[in-house]
Structure 1
Amino acid sequence: MRKFSIYGLALIGLLSLFSCMEDSPQIPLGEFEKGILIMNEGAFGANDGEVYHYDPATGTIQQNVFESKNGRPFAGLLQDMVASEGRLYLVANTGKVEVVGLKDFTSRGAVTSGLDISRSLVIANQKMYISDWGPYDANFNNPNSYIAIVNHLDGGTVSKKIPVSTRPEGMFVAGNQLLIGCSDAKKLEVVSLATDELVKTIALEGMPTRFFESEGKLYLFARDSEKVYFHEINRNNIEIINTVSVSLARATSNFALTDSGELLVITSTGWPSYNDAVAKVKVATGEVISAELFTGSGFYGIGYHVDRKEIYIADNNAFQGNGTVIVLDQSGIQKKTIPAGRGPSGFLMR
């Protein structure tokens, strides 16, 4: 009898638990927490960067999301989109950062002064760290590059600038260290987040631009005219422990990671022919699986949708009007095209 009573109480407890779980209200996703955000850089001089939202399930697209939700144009050249802390940070290389809510895209604040040629952003210790080339000198070099710090997640003023090597691009937070790829200087630099001071500089092969993670390993992507380099980084002591060298000529810094340990890299002959291609490379070995998975011209950005197994290519249409997004299957076969804004250059898959 006692045995039955114990089992009965356990069963009642389980039923109560499931009942509570079923009664708990499900918080619906916000309007922009699913689907694909298309980053449109905009045209130089016009500063008409914008964001489009595409729902692959329905095929619907919303144009000019920032302006429609805030009643004013973005008014900048959009360089990067970073989702963090329930916010979306829109980084303009014209020297500002707009902060919007990730759910509804309404403005939460901005950084509108103290920046020059801002490139990317990370959040650490409840602060913004913004990579910035700094101003051009008379020879169009950037000898005064820096990382700008803003002490509030919703924007405000620049509280400090940390001098770094020429042309910082992507960043990555590893523990209490901020890793920075300085492209023109060909260096990996490290800032201590405890002191906000530069503490280490490592020379690299190639021009580093962005960090990525594959199969549990951290890499810094770099390139030159003939090769691509995947520099593997030890997260504990921030040292390069291995470099995968890939024979891939004319690679750009536009790449996307698949869910099978491969990198999709855009290559381009540049002006005047602009013969562009998407190459597929195995990260662990550097094997070029396909140098021309898909070819065309005007390829300006690339993304990969893990759930749908689709490749998204941003085609800038030579900046003659609006661009297009080309959607491919995994094998590189074109499935459809999607209208985009001026100079589409990147994606945020939700």
Structure 2
Amino acid sequence: MKNLRLLLPLIWLAFFVVSCNDDTTGPTDIPVGEFEKGVLIMNEGAFGVNDGEVFHYDPSSGAIKEDIFRAKNLRPFGGLIQDMVEAEGRMYLVANTGKVEIVAPNDFGLLGGVSLGLNITRSLVVVNQKLFISDWGPYDAGFNNPDSYVAVVNDLNGGPIAKKIAVSSRPEGMIVAGNFIYVACTAAQKYDVISASSENLTASIKVEGNPTQFLEIEGRLFLYAIDDNNAIFHEINPGNYALVRTVKIPLANPTPIITLGEGSEIFIVTSTGWPDYTDAVAKVSVNTGQVINGSFYTGSGLYGIGFKIEGKEIYVAENNGFQGNGSVSILSPTGQKIKTLSVGKGPSGFIFK
């Protein structure tokens, strides 16, 4: 009996170990979805045709899957894709033709959308389980947009518009910082501030240049703006939305097409525009306020850019003058072309997974 009492703890320990190893009801590894790794390539589509689509590129195999929205949902996207935003386990495809399609990031299966009441939709953020969608609003007789707004939808899967918050003309990119939603209003040369709790306009602040988007650079909030001869970075205090300082980098013909590189380095597409369209990618430093390399890469019809942290590669989208499909050039950290991908019409953006 004495020996049996000594053995009982060992028997219970062995039973416990076997039970844990034989647990078939516990959590298991969930397979990664088809599009949860690799690179998503946003193809805007051709104006008037509204044939925007998303491609998927697998860098490890080199395989490209075309038209992944159409393939999964058995219908075309049916719009010009302006932005792709991943948030709250969903992928939001924002069409500047007045709609938002919402899909599952793993397989691009349709989850919902917003299709009524929008005009010229530009971007989207998610706050408090709601969608906030920037929209130019309708054109007036002079092709201006005096009735711009941010639309509020009370469901992550879309549905009807619950409210429209009037903002300054032509809102573009947005960002959430603290309790505020910041809106870059390019035509008005302002950034507007919306309270995320009250959903009302809190402030409208004038800035130099035409602002287009916000960036977080080394933990600081910046608003990017342009004029004919400068790339302009306005630093904002996210606590009270005040303008802290402005960094002007002398750069001819900057465009709104940019991506954040390493540290405070930014890649900016420059273009002389019609008729010669001499385009380039410039590399600048916000910390020093200087151009590091004004012609890091040169080409024609440069329409989008992205920075892949793994490998420090730069993806440059070229629209081929919208004469057929475009292409994407993958560059090394020194600007040498590594590979060229054939993609859809008007490639303009990337999400790296």
Question: Same fold by TM (over 0.5)?
Answer: yes
| 2-structure distance, mates of 1:141, 1:285 | 37
Tell me by how many angstroms 1:244 deviates.
1.0
**Partner SS state of residue 67, structure 1:** helix
Q: Could you list the runs of 5+ residues in structure 2 that have no partner in the other structure? A: 1-12
Q: 2:311 aligns with which of 308, 311, 322?
A: 308
Q: 1:196 aligns with which of 184, 194, 199?
A: 199
* Counterpart check, 1:253 vs 2:256: yes
Q: 1:31 aligns with which of 29, 34, 39?
A: 34
* Counterpart check, 1:205 vs 2:219: no
**Partner SS state of residue 143, structure 2:** coil
Q: Counterpart in 2 of 1:47?
A: 50
| 1-structure distance, mates of 2:59, 2:311 | 9
Q: 2:295 aligns with which of 289, 292, 309?
A: 292
Deviant stretches of 4+, over 3 Å:
none
| 1:207-246 → structure 2 map (5 Å cutoff) | 207-246=210-249
Instruction: In structure 2, give the amino acid aligned to 1:337.
Output: T
Q: Counterpart in 2 of 1:97?
A: 100
What is the RMSD computed on CA atoms of the aligned residues?
1.7
| 2-structure distance, mates of 1:245, 1:26 | 49
Q: Counterpart in 2 of 1:5?
A: none
Q: Counterpart in 2 of 1:272?
A: 275
* Counterpart check, 1:185 vs 2:188: yes
Instruction: In structure 2, give the amino acid aligned to 1:211.
Output: F
Q: Deviations over 1:310-329 (max 9, x none)?
A: 10001000000000001100
Q: Counterpart in 1 of 2:352?
A: 349
Tell which deviates more after alignment, 182-191 or 255-264.
255-264
Instruction: In structure 2, give the amino acid aligned to 1:271.
Output: W
Query: Could you tell me the TM-score, scaled by structure 2's length?
Result: 0.92
Q: Deviations over 1:237-293 (max 9, x none)?
A: 111111111001100000011133210000000011110000000121221000000
* Counterpart check, 1:176 vs 2:179: yes
* Counterpart check, 1:120 vs 2:99: no
Q: Counterpart in 2 of 1:83?
A: 86
Q: Could you list the runs of 5+ residues in structure 1 that have no partner in the other structure? A: 1-11
Q: Deviations over 1:57-81 (max 9, x none)?
A: 1100000000000000000000000
Instruction: In structure 2, give the amino acid aligned to 1:338.
Output: L
Tell me by how many angstroms 1:349 deviates.
0.8
* Counterpart check, 1:59 vs 2:62: yes
Tell me by how many angstroms 1:29 deviates.
1.6
| 1-structure distance, mates of 2:279, 2:90 | 34
Aligned residues: 335
Q: 1:107 aligns with which of 110, 113, 120?
A: 110
